[in-house]
Structure 1
Amino acid sequence: MTHHTVTTEDGLNLHVTTHGPDDAPVSVLLSHCWTADESDWHYQVRDLLSHYGHRIRIVTWDHRGHGQSDPAVEADCTIPHVTRDFGTVVDAVAPSGPIVVAGHSVGGMAITAIPEERPDLMPRIAGLLLVSTSGGDLRTVTLGLPEMGPYLRDRLPFVLATRARLLSRTKRQRFPVIERQVVRRILLGRPQRPRDVGHVVDQLINCSPETMSGFFKDMMLHDRVGNLSAFDDVPTTVLVGTRDKLTPPDHAAKLVQGIHGARLLVAPDAGHYLPFERPTLVTDELCVLIDGALKGAGQTAAQNQAQS
């Protein structure tokens, strides 16, 4: 494990972690959920290291305004900023070779913006995993409550942001009443492991108010359906839980409709946090994409050797 500091185009320092050698034939980049941090993928990092060892390079990072990365002003907490930050991370720690990219929630939304923000990276994407995410139209989400859902959806981020402004982190850690209810009733499906509930609650408590409100506002404007066909030649899998209230199954279905050849897998009873709730499923689908990328990289290396 190696920690890096990568500076964005607008001068923010991002906390980046890599596993594996610089010259690995394939790099795997894992982009996390809104209000989370790189530990969003901790089950997958553990399992990929166990399965592949140093045959691949794994890259995780904290998005701007999240985790150990620098805070960002509310106006700069947007999906295009995260996409450009993604490109900066790739340039810094995975500058060559094929990449397999996975995105959870806003991390997946940022990936769908790559064709407009960093089109130069598209030829390098050898596999794509979109987890509990959306191509747009998030204003239609009702959180499973047709009447009160839209009101609750619009108010909750600002209630959490207000708590973060008025109450110390220590006080919210001692009395995470609202955060725990949000996690248990909205973010997770069934079953719920106490350690996962506690982990997501901690992530919410550690998230800044600017990050909560800024990204929420931008996600409500998110519309990258027109970009999806750019991934037609990329092996793509879309995962969603039947109990996902933030990016419901119909959003996953629209992603699959927009990407030729994409596969849709639906996890019964799972909520929005599939990397926690169904870690084996997420890892297994990552492995399918990584194996394909490794095979392709090996064939390219053999061809180059034959030509030389």
Structure 2
Amino acid sequence: MARRSAMAGVGVGLGLAAAGAAAAAGGLAARRRSLESLPYDGTGPFAHRPDKVMQVRASDGVDLHVEIDEPEGVTPDRPTVVLSHGFTLSLVGWVLQRKALIKAGYRIVTWDQRSHGMSGRSDAEHCTIEQIGDDLAAVIAAAAPEGPLVLVGHSMGGMTTVSFCGRHPEIVRERVLAIALLGTSIGGEGLVTLGMGPALDILLLRFGPGLLVNIGARQRLWDGLRKAGRSVEAAMVKHYGFGPDAPPAIIRLSADMIFSTRLDAVAAFMPHLHALDLVDEAVAIHGVEVLVMNGDQDEITPPQHSRYIVQHLPHAEHELLPETGHMLQLEQPARVNQQLLDLIDRGMRAGLPHPRTGATA
């Protein structure tokens, strides 16, 4: 039987599934404990230690956690690859791409978006697509101030990347060689659809944010429920995030990221994801090498979202991965890594500067 193709919203289906399972953790200390428990400490297939860790101050004062990998022998003509993660995730989800890119000799910048991972907590007013586009600009200014760039975004990280391009087109023209948009959307139709029917979806969108904030305030209760419901977590994440054959280890890794995200962050971003419209911002990407990838069983940003991107960026390379869900960079790392390396090669061959094709006055 074909899997249901509901537009569950960029990580929101996962985030609300978390709330429904009573599994999300709130509070900085609990989030850090959960993140530190991930197999990311020097052992196991997901182990990785960066060469440098820094805090970057965003325009509104939020500290953004940034990690830098600097393999030996990197030359100034080789681009820095900047990886932006998705909603309810963290930079941990890029570990397999980091390994491949380091092996290929590229400098890498990864970061946690505001109120995610190890970054500081944001107020709701600044949990917007515009702000996270500016956050990416701040990260680039601090961690990769010179030289060519390749920008890679997954899910909400793809929206962050497109927002950045629209708000900082001069940097795109002068420095960006290539862009990869993985399992993401530029809008065009309501993203936050939970597959429960229009009436119930509207009620959840209207009252869900307040509900999530109230749940997040009861930290001890929900931490206890989370301990009792890890199998429920994994089942929900597998349903919304992966294809049928995803290994349990990456499902668990993803669940730990998702259920460590603050519920008030989920609540704050939800309305902006629902109202997303980045078509005009995508204009700034014209003239840059672009890769669009999506899983054919993605229930968060289904394939019609990637096809809509390609309609507005017809020069993009487009690949739909079979039997793959939303977390394609973990589920199909070999294919994603090879496509990223090929994209970087195309970008380096094309070079700079970019023509102002499609630019608006």
Identify whether the pair has TM-score above 0.5, normalized to the shorter chain: yes
Counterpart residue type for residue 171 of structure 1: G
Pair 1:92-2:146 in alignment: no
How has the CA–CA distance of structure 1 residues 179 and 138 changed in structure 2, closer, same or farther, with 3 Å as cutoff?
A: farther
- How many angstroms does 1:242 deviate by? 1.1
- Residues 243 and 270 in structure 1, CA contact (< 8 A), matched pair in contact too: yes
How has the CA–CA distance of structure 1 residues 60 and 166 changed in structure 2, closer, same or farther, with 3 Å as cutoff?
A: same
Looking at structure 2, the residues matched to 36 and 128 of structure 1 have their Cα atoms a distance apart, in angstroms, of 20
- Residue deviations 1:19-78 (CA, integer Å, cap 9, x gap): 11694631100000101111121110011112x13xx21000001101111011122111
Aligned to 1:129: 180
* 5+ long unaligned stretches in structure 1: 301-308
Looking at structure 2, the residues matched to 241 and 149 of structure 1 have their Cα atoms a distance apart, in angstroms, of 27
- How many angstroms does 1:151 deviate by? 5.6
Counterpart residue type for residue 166 of structure 1: R
Looking at structure 2, the residues matched to 43 and 37 of structure 1 have their Cα atoms a distance apart, in angstroms, of 13
Q: 260, 263, 271: which is aligned to 1:206?
A: 260
SS in 1 for 2:88: coil
Pair 1:257-2:257 in alignment: no
Q: Aligned pair count?
A: 296
- Residue deviations 1:173-225 (CA, integer Å, cap 9, x gap): 41235543431221222212111111121112211122111111111111011
- Residues 134 and 251 in structure 1, CA contact (< 8 A), matched pair in contact too: yes
Pair 1:30-2:83 in alignment: yes
- How many angstroms does 1:167 deviate by? 3.8
Looking at structure 1, the residues matched to 280 and 98 of structure 2 have their Cα atoms a distance apart, in angstroms, of 31
Aligned to 2:26: none
Aligned to 2:59: 9
Identity of aligned residues (%): 29
Looking at structure 2, the residues matched to 275 and 238 of structure 1 have their Cα atoms a distance apart, in angstroms, of 13
* 5+ long unaligned stretches in structure 2: 1-50, 354-361
Looking at structure 1, the residues matched to 271 and 132 of structure 2 have their Cα atoms a distance apart, in angstroms, of 14
Counterpart residue type for residue 45 of structure 1: R
Aligned to 2:249: 195
Aligned to 2:288: 234
- Residue deviations 1:203-255 (CA, integer Å, cap 9, x gap): 12211122111111111111011222322211111011111111110110010
Q: 303, 325, 350: which is aligned to 1:271?
A: 325
- How many angstroms does 1:6 deviate by? 0.8
Looking at structure 1, the residues matched to 203 and 322 of structure 2 have their Cα atoms a distance apart, in angstroms, of 25
Aligned to 2:23: none
Q: 88, 102, 118: which is aligned to 1:68?
A: 118
Alignment of 1:75-86 (within 5 A): 75-86=125-136
Pair 1:287-2:356 in alignment: no
Pair 1:46-2:116 in alignment: no
- How many angstroms does 1:79 deviate by? 1.2
How has the CA–CA distance of structure 1 residues 156 and 266 changed in structure 2, closer, same or farther, with 3 Å as cutoff?
A: farther
Aligned to 1:305: none
How has the CA–CA distance of structure 1 residues 220 and 46 changed in structure 2, closer, same or farther, with 3 Å as cutoff?
A: same
How has the CA–CA distance of structure 1 residues 247 and 157 changed in structure 2, closer, same or farther, with 3 Å as cutoff?
A: farther
How has the CA–CA distance of structure 1 residues 141 and 206 changed in structure 2, closer, same or farther, with 3 Å as cutoff?
A: closer
SS in 1 for 2:217: helix
Counterpart residue type for residue 199 of structure 1: L
- Residues 143 and 246 in structure 1, CA contact (< 8 A), matched pair in contact too: no
Looking at structure 1, the residues matched to 172 and 126 of structure 2 have their Cα atoms a distance apart, in angstroms, of 24
- Residues 169 and 284 in structure 2, CA contact (< 8 A), matched pair in contact too: no
Pair 1:220-2:271 in alignment: no
- Residues 183 and 294 in structure 2, CA contact (< 8 A), matched pair in contact too: yes
Looking at structure 1, the residues matched to 153 and 189 of structure 2 have their Cα atoms a distance apart, in angstroms, of 17
Counterpart residue type for residue 18 of structure 1: I
- Residues 190 and 276 in structure 2, CA contact (< 8 A), matched pair in contact too: no
Aligned to 1:243: 297
TM-score by length of 1: 0.87
TM-score by length of 2: 0.75
- Residues 294 and 326 in structure 2, CA contact (< 8 A), matched pair in contact too: yes
